[in-house]
Amino acid sequence: MSPGTKLGPYEILSRLGAGGMGEVWRARDPRLNREVAIKISAQQFTDRFEREARAIAALNNPNVCTLHDIGPNYLVMELIEGPTLADRIAQGPIPLDETLTLARQIADALEAAHEKSIVHRDLKPGNIKIRPDGSVKVLDFGLAKAGAEDAPVSSDSPTMMHIATQVGVILGTAAYMAPEQARGKAVDRRADIWAFGVVLHEMVTGTRLFQGEDLTVTLASVVMKEPDISAAPPELRRLLTKCLQKDPKNRLRWIGDAWDFLETEESATAPSQSRLGTKGIGGKTGWIAAAVFALALAGLAFIHFREKPPAAPAVTRFRYTLPKGQNFPRACSGAM
C-alpha cells in the first residue's frame, strides 16, 4: 500500500500507523469529499474485524470513534486529529484538573459500551486520542473481543493477540491487563475498569504502574505485584484502590460509579452527604441555602421580640342615677 493507491472508492493519502492487526491509513472519500481513517487487516476480513465493526456500529457516543464503512479487509472510520493520550503523557504528568476532565470522557465511553455488553479489553493510552478542542475519542472498541486463532503477534504493537495458555487465551496489552485477563481467564467489564485505573494512574504520574524488562516479567508484575499508588495525588487514591483490586469481585463494578470514590474537600468533611451533589443538602448550594434560611429566621425573631405588646383597652366608667323604688344596681361599668 502506498499513497495514491485506490482501496474501493477511497484514495489512500498517507500512513498513520501500524499494529499487530495491520496498518492504518489516512484516505479521502471522494463521494462525501471528506478524509477518513482506514484500518487495513493483514489478512482478509476476519471474525475479529467483524466483531470490531459490530461493536463500534452499536455505539453512539461522542467519546467513541464513528464507523463509516466496511470493506472486505478494512474498516473505514472517523479520522480523529490530535495526539494520543500516550503522546500527551510522554510530555510529563498531566495536572489533576486536566486529568479528571479527560478521565470523565474516557469513563463515559466505557459506560456507553458496557451498557451494550461491549468490553474493550485493550484500553490503553495509545487507543485514546485527544482532539484539538480537548474532547476525547476512545478507539478500537471490540478489537480484542474476537478469538485469536488468526491474529499474529507483531513486534510493532505491544497488544498480544495470540498467546495460548492452559486456561485460555491472553488478549490485550500486558501493562494494562487485569490480573484475570493476564491469566487467560474470561473477563467482563471489570477488566476495563482495572485498565481505566492503570491509565488514570499513568496520567497523573507520567509512569507506568506495571512494567518489566520483557513480556513475561510484565505479566508477572500484573499478576503478583500489589499496585503502588503512593505517587498519585491523595484525591485519586481511594478511586485507584477501588479500580485496582486484583480480585474482580472486590473491584468497582460500574465505571459510572467511579466519581463516588473521588476524594474532594467536601467528601472528606461530609462523606455521607457529598454524593447528593450541588442540588442536595450535602452540596455547596444546599449549605448556602440552609445558612440563608437560618439568618432569615433569626431576623424575624429579632423583629418579633422587639415589638411592643398592644396597649390594654381603656376603661371608662359611667354612673347613672336610677329612679327611686327600682331594684337595679346603683352603678355599672363598661369598657370602650
Shared domain for 151 and 258, answered yes or no, is: yes
Position 30 scores a pLDDT of: 93
Instruction: Tell me the pTM.
Output: 0.70
Shared domain for 21 and 139, answered yes or no, is: no
Q: Are 143 and 122 in contact (CB under 8 A)?
A: yes
Shared domain for 18 and 151, answered yes or no, is: no
Which of helix, strand or coil describes residue 328? Answer: coil
Residue type, 272: S
Q: Are 286 and 279 in contact (CB under 8 A)?
A: yes
Active-site residue flag, 122: yes
The CATH number of the domain where 259 resides is what? 1.10.510.10
- How many CB atoms lie under 10 A from the CB of residue 32? 10
Question: How many Å apart are CA 168 and CA 114, to the nearest integer?
Answer: 23
Q: How many domains does the chain have?
A: 2
Position 66 scores a pLDDT of: 87
| In a domain? residue 198 | yes
Shared domain for 177 and 234, answered yes or no, is: yes
Cα angle value 101/90/257 (rounded, 5°): 30
The CATH number of the domain where 16 resides is what? 3.30.200.20
Cα angle value 233/234/237 (rounded, 5°): 95
Shared domain for 222 and 270, answered yes or no, is: yes
Shared domain for 55 and 174, answered yes or no, is: no
| In a domain? residue 58 | yes
Position 46 scores a pLDDT of: 66
| In a domain? residue 262 | yes
| In a domain? residue 49 | yes
Shared domain for 10 and 135, answered yes or no, is: no
| In a domain? residue 316 | no
Half-sphere exposure of 177 (CA within 13 A, CB side): 32
| In a domain? residue 333 | no
Integer CA distances (angstroms), 176 to 8, 112, 127, 243, in order: 36, 20, 12, 12
Question: How many Å apart are CA 37 and CA 12, to the nearest integer?
Answer: 9
| In a domain? residue 322 | no
Shared domain for 53 and 130, answered yes or no, is: no
Shared domain for 132 and 264, answered yes or no, is: yes
Task: Supply the DSSP string of 212-267, one letter for each residue.
Answer: -SSHHHHHHHHHHSPP--TTS-HHHHHHHHHHT-SSGGGS-S-GGGGGGG---HHH
Residue carrying the nine cell digits 495491520: 22
Shared domain for 57 and 111, answered yes or no, is: no
Shared domain for 72 and 160, answered yes or no, is: no
From the candidates 29, 87, 108, 122, which is the catalytic residue?
Answer: 122
Cα angle value 206/210/215 (rounded, 5°): 125
Shared domain for 185 and 251, answered yes or no, is: yes
Helix runs in the chain, H state only: 47-58, 85-90, 96-115, 179-182, 189-205, 215-224, 234-243, 265-269, 284-306
Question: How many Å apart are CA 261 and CA 274, to the nearest integer?
Answer: 10
Q: With a cut of 70, list the residues of the chain below it in pLDDT.
A: 19-21, 45-46, 48-49, 52, 142-172, 264-336
Q: What domain range includes position 251?
A: 85-276
- Select from 257, 276, 295 the last residue of a domain: 276
Which of helix, strand or coil describes residue 148? Answer: coil
Give the DSSP H or E segment for 271.
none
- Select from 78, 105, 125 the last residue of a domain: 78
| In a domain? residue 324 | no
Q: Are 86 and 160 in contact (CB under 8 A)?
A: no
- Select from 227, 246, 276 the last residue of a domain: 276
